[in-house]
Structures are given as C-alpha cells and as structure tokens.
C-alpha cells in the first residue's frame, strides 16, 4: 500500500468534506444528550359554578317558564346534602332543577289540577329525561301528585336570591 504524502491533493480534498459531517454529527449528539424541556403547565381552566347567572342578570331576568314532568324525592334522600350544601328534608319547600340558578324562587303549577306551590331551587336534577323539576314530598302533597309519582307541570321562575 502506498501512503499519501502529507500535502497531497487527495488528502486535502478529503479533510474539508469530513469537517461538516463531523460537526453535524457532534451537534446531533449534543442535542440528543440535552435534557428535555420541562413540560408546560396547563393553563388554568375557568371556574365553573353551579349557581347559574347572578341575581338580576339579563340571563336570569329573561328566564322563561318551563313545561315538563315533575317528580318528587324518594325517602332515601332525607338527610343527604344538596348542591347548595344544606341538608335535604322532605318537609321543606326544596326543589331541584338542572337549569335554574340555586336560590331561585319558582312557582310550580300542576297542569292536571291547577294547584300551585312556591319552591326554592336548592339542588341539581332531576336526572331523568323529560323531567324538569324534583320536589320535596311536602310540595308534591301540596300539588296532589304523590299518588301518581309524577305530574305535568309548569315551572315559572319568580326571583333569584342566589348566595354569592
């Protein structure tokens, strides 16, 4: 084998083409060994409140009557905590609505017999399709719907005394 002279043209041409490749390999190795960037924290999500719109808001003032079925709480809910943090009792004027703000006073009218009662929305529900309100047994008795268990009603929001 023949050795190339120290300053031979073949050796000079070979060296510059090796330098960029070596630099690229070194850079690639350095970036692969670098620690990963710390994960970015998720941006805070907006608070979600079950209380609904604030009292006197345009959304609350424009609340329209709802029609649908009403049911009443089963006895095993006695003593349970409602969405507003208070304890449920069957002897109260409490009601549950999926859409009305907590603290809202509403008039519930039984469309079969015309009887009415005023309730305070203190819980969330009912969780049955087609039902618009769950009532305490006291209110259900006032509307004369205990025997049937459900009744067609109209729920008309009166005021909102939601706590802030």
Could you write out the DSSP letters of every residue in 48-86?
A: --SS-SPTT-HHHHT---EEEEEEE--GGGTT-B-TTSP
Q: CA-CA distances (angstroms) from residue 56 to 61, 108, 144, 159?
A: 6, 21, 33, 9
Question: pTM for the complete prediction?
Answer: 0.61
CA dihedral for 82, 84, 90, 93, sign (positive or negative): negative
Mean pLDDT by 10 residues, the chain (164 residues): 56 60 73 68 56 48 83 95 96 96 96 97 94 97 96 92 50
Predicted local distance difference test score (pLDDT) of residue 49 = 47
Using CA atoms, how far apart are residues 74 and 134, in angstroms rounded to an integer?
A: 10
Using CA atoms, how far apart are residues 117 and 22, in angstroms rounded to an integer?
A: 86
**Domains identified in the chain and CATH numbers:** 64-160 (2.40.40.10)
Predicted local distance difference test score (pLDDT) of residue 57 = 47
Predicted local distance difference test score (pLDDT) of residue 156 = 97
Whose CA is closest to 124, among 113, 114, 133? 133
């Amino acid at each position: 084998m023949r050795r190339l002279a120290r300053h031979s043209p073949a050796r000079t041409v070979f060296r510059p083409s090796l330098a960029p490749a070596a630099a690229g390999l070194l850079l690639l190795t350095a970036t692969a060994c670098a620690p990963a960037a710390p994960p970015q924290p998720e941006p805070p999500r907006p608070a979600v409140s079950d209380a609904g719109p604030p009292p006197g808001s345009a959304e609350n003032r424009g609340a329209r009557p709802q029609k649908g079925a009403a049911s009443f709480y089963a006895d095993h809910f006695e003593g349970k905590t409602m969405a507003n943090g208070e304890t449920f009792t069957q002897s109260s004027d409490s009601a549950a609505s999926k859409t009305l703000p907590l603290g809202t006073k509403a008039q519930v009218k039984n469309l079969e017999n015309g009887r009415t009662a005023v309730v305070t929305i203190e819980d969330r529900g009912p969780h049955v399709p087609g039902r618009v309100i769950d009532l305490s047994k006291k209110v259900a008795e006032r509307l004369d719907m205990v025997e049937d268990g459900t009744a067609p009603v109209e729920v008309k929001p009166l005021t909102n005394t939601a706590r802030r």
